[in-house]
Every structure is written in C-alpha cells, then in structure tokens.
Structure 1
Amino acid sequence: MARKPVFFSFHYGNDVMRVQQVRNIGALEGNTPVSANDWETVKRGGDASIKRWIDDNFKYKQCVIVLVGQETHTRPWVKYEIEKAWSDGKPIFGIHIHNLVCPRNGKGLKGKNPFEQFAFNDGTKLSSVVSCYDPNPNDAYKDIAENMEYWVSQAIAQRKK
C-alpha cells in the first residue's frame, strides 16, 4: 500500500518528542519535521509568514492528523490548522499522544479534544463528526502503529459523506 501524505498538527514545544515517535512509525508520509531553528525563522516573519508556511505545507496532503497533547487545544496555530483543514474539505482526525513516553518527562496528561471548541451554525460540535482517538494506555505506540492507516482511511471516507 502506498504511503498517504498527511499533515501533522501539534504543539511543538510540549510534544515534539512524542510527535517524532508517531512520525517514526513510517506508515504515512508526513510533513517534513521543521527544526527548531527553521521554526524560529518562520515565526520571526510574523503571522503572515506562519500562515504561508502552513498553507504551503497543506498542499497535496490527503489528511490532517492533530496529535493531541496536554495543551494542544489552546494553541492558536493548531486552531488555525483545524479550521483550514475543515474549510478546505480535508479529512481530519485527532490522536491523543499523552501516553507515549517522552524521554525528557515521561507520560503526559491527557489534553482536551481540540474539536470540541468548534461548532457549526446549528450548534453541533465539530467533535461530533471528527474522531479523536485515545490509544490503549498500556501500549499507545503499538495501538497507533496498528491503527493509523485505518484511521486515515476512516477520516477520508467520513469526509466524502
């Protein structure tokens, strides 16, 4: 099976090491990790530069995966990426990553579902149509590795409805 190109959305500061574990699974073709130095360069360009970087990296991606850590739901650029994915018609879903062990600080606290804070005009929450998976705490890495391709396929099928 060909690897599907995806965009990973996450809180860089808190979760980059957990995100690297997900990227290393290798089942998907994710956006190239940006180094801390490159991200600082993008940030120095201000909001317009960050939006341009996100928009450029969204191109040709089949799905957006929000990797949910403790503070992900509060991050303004994650919110922008969720809104952009939905408005662009891209399939999107989340995966809680708090149970992946970070070498610096171990397991994290479970973050809020970031899709809860978005609502349609009728008041229905985005979380009612966008999945946010919480992998098995006993072996979160294995659960993610075994299910990520399926979750992408599910998000694509759901978005086509």
Structure 2
Amino acid sequence: MTTLERRHIFISHHHKDDSLVDKFTSLLGGKGIDVRNSSIRAKPANQERLDKGLVKDSVIQRILRMKISWASTVVVLIGEKTHSRPWVNWEIDQANAQGKRIIGVYEQGGTNYEIPTSLENYASNIRAWNAAGIIKALDGENSFENPDGTLRSPVHAPANSEC
C-alpha cells in the first residue's frame, strides 16, 4: 500500500472555477500528494447568501484569515477571470502578511490569462499546469514560468521564498 504525502494548502480561486480545484487536487493526487484544501467552497445555498451580500465582509475576512493560517502554502489557480476577483487579491495579500509561501498555477490551456496584481507582487513561484513542477514549487524550489512552461522573469524578488 502506498502512503500519500499530505500537504495543507489554501487554494485561492474564482468561485466559478471550483471544478479547477478538483482537477488540481486530482493532478497532484496522481503523483502521490494528498492535498488538504482549506479554501472556501460554498454550497449553493451559502453561495446564494454570499452573492446577495447577506454575509458581512468582516465575517468572510475572519474565516479566510483562519483558513489561510492553517495552510502551509497558498496556491492561486490562474483562470480566465482570476485577475479580476477582489477576494483573490485579498487572499494573496493576507497570505503574504502571514508569511505564507505563495504559488501561482496557470489553468491547463490558459495561455492568455492575466495574473492577479498581488500574485505578481508576492509570488514565490508561478508555474505551468505540470504536476512535477508544482510539486517542486511546494517543496521550495523557486521558478517563474509562462503558461507553456517556458521560463519567465519574476516581477519582484520574493520576500517569502523560504518557509
């Protein structure tokens, strides 16, 4: 029997990309990584309350701070509209404030997707959709890639590159 290596990760994503979270955990699971995801994935009834503004931002922020604190690493899934989501940038800013390792991962096939501003400012890594590269990033290797896996320059010098 093979033992999976467990990782506690907060997966920041646009809520419409929930299926991408499943693909991400399956990608790593196929390589022996058991992802314990602490991000919010609202059930339909709760999502409706969020969409109608029935939950105060301060409540959401408190919950997110706790969930980010629990994780050793924050992974930002870069989809088509991720860059335009204020909560994604807030989560990245909070992860940086907590000294978390922050890894951006482009959605598979997402060749023209913009990177959230906070991710450009604070990422330790930005990776293509490749399990081996993502695992290296989780293990502490710093590299910045384009969606196709070719190397790119970081926009900043990561302050939280070692955990």
The question of a shared fold, defined as TM-score above 0.5 by the shorter chain, is answered with yes
CA contact (8 A) 1:68 1:94 kept: yes
Q: In 2, distance between residues paired with 1:6 and 1:75?
A: 20
Q: Which residue of 1 aligns with 2:78?
A: 68
Q: In 2, distance between residues paired with 1:37 and 1:21?
A: 23
Q: TM-score, normalised by structure 1?
A: 0.70
Q: In 1, distance between residues paired with 2:23 and 2:121?
A: 27
Q: TM-score, normalised by structure 2?
A: 0.69
Task: Say if 1:155 and 1:55 are closer, same or farther in 2 by CA, change over 3 A.
Answer: farther
Q: Which residue of 2 aligns with 1:2?
A: 5
CA contact (8 A) 1:65 1:94 kept: yes
How many residues of Structure 1 are paired with residues of Structure 2 in the alignment? 135
Task: Say if 1:98 and 1:48 are closer, same or farther in 2 by CA, change over 3 A.
Answer: same
3-state SS of 1:20 partner? helix
Write the deviation string for residues 80-135 of structure 1: whole angstroms up to 9, x where unpaired: 00100111100001000042xxxxxxxx5632122xx249xxxxx626x5321123
Moved more, 47-56 or 23-32: 23-32
Q: In 1, distance between residues paired with 2:124 and 2:141?
A: 8
Write the deviation string for residues 131-158 of structure 1: whole angstroms up to 9, x where unpaired: 21123xxxxxxx23x33322111269x6
Moved more, 72-81 or 32-41: 32-41
Q: 1:130 aligns with which of 111, 124, 140?
A: 124
Structure 1 segments unaligned to the other structure (5+ residues): 100-107, 120-124, 136-142
- Structure with the largest fraction of strand: 2
How big is the shift at 1:4? 1.4
Which has the higher relative contact order, 1 or 2, with Cα contacts under 8 A spaced 6 or more apart? 1
Q: In 2, distance between residues paired with 1:74 and 1:134?
A: 20
Identity %: 22
3-state SS of 1:84 partner? helix
- Structure with the largest fraction of helix: 1
Structure 2 segments unaligned to the other structure (5+ residues): 143-159
